Amino acid sequence: MDIQRLEFQQPMWGGVNVLRIGDTLVDTGHVRSTDAVREALDGGLAGVERVLLTHPHIDHVGGSQTVDAIADLPHVGFEGVPSIVHGYADYLREARADMTRLLSGLGATESQWDVYFPVDGSYHQDRIAFEREVGDGETVRIGDYELETVHTPGHSAQHAAFWHEPSGTCLSGDLVSENGHFMYAPLYCDIDDYKRSLRRLRALSPDRLVPMHGPEMTDPRERIDDCLAKAEATAAELRSWLDERGRFFAREFARESFGADGAAVGFLTLVVHEYATHLAEQGACSVAVTGDGVELSR
């Protein structure tokens, strides 16, 4: 399967991929990558005719929301993606408010999200037209290839991977990260779904994973197993902390267990909150979000 990968820089968190497969773009970069993506339309992305979105996060729909020539292309996305894309400013406001609430113990303010989650821009949310909203198991054309849609929630409830069985290639979106750790995203992520999706992807026995961050992966089973092992290890360590301490804040775990410092403390506190919610659903702990922070207790 012939795939051209272009990497664009996003604020704070490194690069994000845009894939060209024949006449199709897979994802369109971050909203802050507008100029670079627009310039690529005269180069490596020249002549594209349609867009497929793996999920509706700001680093994957940016070109669709900010570049006229991309917004005007027919789009395809998984169930739930169009409604978020068409109400994007409201989605971002809700995401910012929720992250500010969860990080109140670290003094979070709405303005701190302006760089990565800007709401002051003019988005093309009313201009983008979806020619198709696909469901799990449906076939979608990407360039000259026919791929199966595989619903893979966890990073996002609206997340899908796309599976090309003849070549053993899976476009895995943001499910499998470079470092093997769960990638937090606001509002719609879920650890239990994440683990189920990893197992579902592993059952396909792919030979090649093409993620939307970093280079392709030629050792899919090892990568997926590593993700699952790290998820189980993080949950187990949280249980151990609960046994030993009885009560603690998510930011403490982020600093001491994950070794977070600086801006990473906030992001990893959000990750800990998702694991804590996962354990609370199993009856292993209680989670309280107050002005002091996210607190876990027996």
The answer on 255 and 109 residing in a single domain is no
In a domain, 233, yes or no: no
The answer on 250 and 194 residing in a single domain is no
Q: Report the distance separating Cα 270 and Cα 276, nearest Å.
A: 10
The answer on 267 and 213 residing in a single domain is no
Position 250 scores a pLDDT of 98
What is the tally of structural domains in the chain? 2
Position 295 scores a pLDDT of 98
Are 156 and 56 in contact, with CB atoms under 8 Å apart?
A: yes
Position 13 scores a pLDDT of 78
Position 12 scores a pLDDT of 80
**Residue after which a domain boundary falls, among 178, 195, 226:** 226
Position 121 scores a pLDDT of 73
Residue whose pair of structure tokens reads 């207790």 in the numeric block:
297
In a domain, 238, yes or no: no
Q: What is the pTM of this model?
A: 0.96
Residue 120 lies in domain:
4-226
Name the strands in the sheet holding 15-21, side by side, starting at the edge strand that comes first in the sequence.
4-9, 15-21, 24-26, 50-53, 75-78, 130-134
Check which CATH number belongs to the domain holding 142 and give it. 3.60.15.10
pLDDT per position as a tens digit, 65-117: 999 999 999 999 999 999 999 999 999 999 999 999 999 999 999 899 999 99
The answer on 146 and 103 residing in a single domain is yes
Position 120 scores a pLDDT of 77
Which residues 6+ apart lie within 8 Å of 241 measured at CB?
248, 253, 257, 296
3-state SS class at 120: coil
Position 108 scores a pLDDT of 93
What does the angle CA 12 – CA 17 – CA 18 come to, to the nearest 5 degrees?
A: 130
In a domain, 134, yes or no: yes
In a domain, 237, yes or no: no
Residue ranges, the chain, pLDDT below 70: none
